[in-house]
Chain A
């Protein structure tokens, strides 16, 4: 009999545990939603089902307070870690542009470095809110893969690089490649493009592929490759940094053999989020056109030297940002904290030898393709 009562006591204690812990169950969610790394968070579950609930990723990001931005992490001048461990580059700065617009703080970015293979999955599973990972805008990605694309921030295209000593010049074409050994990295569309271009020009080439482009460049320097090919931005960077003294490398043809428009990429069917990203990018372009820089952006509102469009864009009278779910001065924060398109371009791409003037990335007034709809 005594034994039984002991058992009953034990059971009672356990039952009490259960009740209390179950009662505390709700507490758990609220406490751990603040957690940056582990356990549950209410917001994260909504990311997957946002379109059904009618709630936009914009609200989720604003509630969370940080932007999860997918980048490459190893793309020269576009997104790399500098020696102090900070993510820098053209793509990284556009992550900061979106964070400044949506959250008012350019540093509230959580950079997620993604491989080419996992980038779209990361968007679909809600791991990242937006991709700034030099992703080419293509038909299949826009439709079949389920992505939406924002305004192109960089017009790239595949080109070739040869040595002037081998008789190549800036006016060479694919037809001059007869019998040349051409090297590129394996498993990318560049491999396919050069094959197609050579076939169209009716020349036979010897195509060799390597795991990464550092090895390709080394083989070019040592002479094992006559020609190397990848996106023009990559070639210019290599030429600026690795061209040995006394040698001249030339990039051709003038019109690239492929079109590679790069820009922000996000999940489809979320207009509110898409608008926030698109107009953050447009704001940098318009600011660049209007001469608004990180230095003077804070003083634009109420300054007669700037036109009405600039005033509206920077949060003055008649501003449209509030209707988008952003702060009235969202774009002023973007320009002040990160800079306009021209500043971002100059900061990241000039050091590797890429200039805006004369390229597709010049403003539309200068014959380039960088164009933004009017802010009104």
Chain B
């Protein structure tokens, strides 16, 4: 298989190495306007850094407010005695990350040049810090020594490995460099006295000069071990299991992980086993067997158009169930209504599997897995949580931000692609509906939609039907974000040339094959930059959920911590932390998008 990353421009000339002096003269002081700009912006940068450092290190700052409230900022009121669930969730994600790194052969290598420059830059940054920070002379000396050590290590790598061309040779795997970096961070938890802050039984414990609490450093160490261990395990099993299968399993696990980790692990449903045995399992079996038989028949090649007519009839029936439930004409389990919709959709795509017996059986097996997983999730979601909670939701703080962002992105992507396809399709009804939907949603502010879904929607629901606050938030946000996503995808669709359509028609592809194999891959490739921009926007705008009473990280930093008796009015520290966290996540997404663009060769071909 061709690795897309292997494209390398061999003809690019080697960069002529210049001495630092030449480089500075060429780039910073080449002419008078350039010199003025360099001096002005240099002075401005130094002033800004000095201001920020002065703010961060000022004696008035009460960073213990942030340190003490770290758990509140991350997970709000998640019960302390159940916190192991949070760590288990993180551990699962770490294991998946490690296995994926191994499965996708994260084979990038960092050249020694780059490592050496990074280390020297860190040293230079520390030196700048020592010069600019308003700290005592003694501590300045300490920082200068640290800076010197970094510079020496960097120079040591540079000159120790220097080969031809005056540049160091050699490289190390990026993965191990990252692991090493994380290891240093984790080790610092055990050795560096960051300070010990806790809130136990209403008493504030603040001891400077100690390392962080055991409940912080131990789990993070375990997380690191899980990450590295699963990577090594993944590398080992690569020899025994074909990589295609591992990747398929991992993709499936990644997709399921938000649902399972959230509703099963974090929420801990209190299953009513008697009800499950009497109703849930028989229902699931009924749908697996009955639906499986129906789909097997529907995917029969000789069935022809009749299959499609039946599938459409089934879809009408499935939709009618929801209308009937809305007006309360007859009662049917919500689970059954969802299953009928799934069955109708499966019946619609059944002709695509109209082939030999093996393909049809695989289709039926897929259906069984879908029903098993969806029924299990619906049961779990509908079971009450065993957690003893202070508020209406078990999520809060940064975990709520992540939950809303991840779920919204996961759900709005397929919806947005469908809307874009509908809007560009030649079917008038679909086009009008999709256009109307997109335009009406885009004409309404997100705040309005959130208010609508949390306050007004419950009034419209039939008696006895309730929608949970979190579900309302995610639903409204998904519908909103899908409309914007659709427009981004439509931009991509329009960039696909007419010849592509004509060519695929000429070789006899069906409409769905043309869309799936020819049009969408090209359209999505072009849409990567706006799609990632949209994803970053979705992540950042989750802070709006605060207006309908949910505690996201920004609200906790902005109005909860400053209202605590111990930290009255202490707001700026928390806000700075929150902006740093938002920046880290958004910047990583943008960095990843750049890499993705490079991989698919966007802007190059």
Q: Chain A interface (Cβ within 8 Å of chain B)?
A: 3, 6-7, 9-10, 13-14, 16-18, 20-22, 24-29, 31-32, 34-42, 44-45, 73-77, 80-88, 107, 110-115, 118, 121, 125, 212, 214, 217-218, 237-238, 241-242, 351-352
A–B pairs, 29, beta carbons within 8 Å: A7-B310, A10-B298, A13-B294, A17-B336, A20-B283, A20-B286, A21-B333, A21-B336, A24-B283, A24-B332, A25-B330, A27-B333, A28-B331, A28-B333, A35-B383, A38-B381, A45-B464, A81-B72, A81-B77, A81-B556, A81-B564, A82-B199, A83-B204, A84-B80, A88-B202, A111-B390, A114-B549, A115-B549, A125-B458
Interface size class of chain B, counting residues whose CB lies under 8 Å from the partner chain: 35 or more
Instruction: Return chain A residues, CB-CB under 8 Å to B290.
Output: 13, 16-17
Instruction: Return chain B residues, CB-CB under 8 Å to A112.
Output: 391-392, 549
A18 to B330, CA, bound (A): 11
**B520 contacts chain A at the CB level, 8 A cutoff:** no
A112 to B336, CA, bound (A): 32
Are the C-beta atoms of B549 and A118 separated by less than 8 Å? Answer: yes
**B220 contacts chain A at the CB level, 8 A cutoff:** no
Output the least CB separation between A211 and chain B (Å). Answer: 10
- A41, A114, A118, A121: the one contacting B464 at CB < 8 Å is A41
Q: Which residues of chain B in 368-411 are interfacial with respect to chain A, using CB atoms and an 8 Å cutoff?
A: 381-385, 388-393, 396
Instruction: Return chain A residues, CB-CB under 8 Å to B465.
Output: 39-40
Query: Binary interface profile of B, 348-384, with partner A (CB < 8 Å = 1, else 0)?
Result: 0000000000000000000000000000000001111
Instruction: Return chain B residues, CB-CB under 8 Å to A80.
Output: 560, 563-565
User: In the complex, given contacts A24-B332, A38-B466, A44-B464, what are 19 additional A-B residue pairs having Cβ atoms less than 8 angstroms apart?
Assistant: A3-B303, A17-B336, A21-B336, A32-B382, A35-B382, A36-B384, A36-B385, A37-B385, A38-B468, A39-B382, A75-B563, A76-B563, A80-B560, A110-B391, A115-B547, A237-B565, A241-B569, A351-B565, A352-B568
A7 to B293, CA, bound (A): 12
Are the C-beta atoms of B331 and A14 separated by less than 8 Å? Answer: no
**B182 contacts chain A at the CB level, 8 A cutoff:** no
From known contacts A17-B286, A214-B569, A351-B565, infer whether A85 and B331 are also in contact, taking CB-CB under 8 Å: no
Interface centre among B293, B547, B562, B565 (most CB of A within 10 A): B565
A18 to B333, CA, bound (A): 10
A310 to B43, CA, bound (A): 75
Write the chain A residue with the least CB distance to B317: A14
Are the C-beta atoms of B297 and A214 separated by less than 8 Å? Answer: no
Are the C-beta atoms of A39 and B466 separated by less than 8 Å? Answer: yes
Are the C-beta atoms of A34 and B334 separated by less than 8 Å? Answer: no
Our count of residue pairs bridging A and B at CB distance below 8 angstroms stands at 189
Q: Chain B interface (Cβ within 8 Å of chain A)?
A: 68-69, 71-72, 75-78, 80, 199, 202, 204, 272, 275, 279, 283, 286-287, 290, 293-294, 297-298, 303, 306, 310, 314, 317, 330-336, 340, 381-385, 388-393, 396, 455, 458-459, 463-471, 547-549, 551, 556, 559-560, 562-566, 568-569, 571
Are the C-beta atoms of A24 and B563 separated by less than 8 Å? Answer: no
- A14, A42, A111, A218: the one contacting B314 at CB < 8 Å is A14
Instruction: Return chain B residues, CB-CB under 8 Å to A16.
Output: 290
Write the chain A residue with the least CB distance to B310: A10
Are the C-beta atoms of A110 and B564 separated by less than 8 Å? Answer: no
Are the C-beta atoms of A74 and B563 separated by less than 8 Å? Answer: yes
A112 to B335, CA, bound (A): 29
Output the least CB separation between A90 and chain B (Å). Answer: 11
Output the least CB separation between A42 and chain B (Å). Answer: 7
Output the least CB separation between B554 and chain A (Å). Answer: 13
Interface centre among B333, B382, B547 (most CB of A within 10 A): B333
Are the C-beta atoms of B562 and A214 separated by less than 8 Å? Answer: yes
Interface centre among A22, A40, A81 (most CB of B within 10 A): A81
- B199, B331, B385, B562: the one contacting A22 at CB < 8 Å is B331
Are the C-beta atoms of A25 and B332 separated by less than 8 Å? Answer: yes
From known contacts A13-B290, A17-B290, infer whether A83 and B68 are also in contact, taking CB-CB under 8 Å: yes
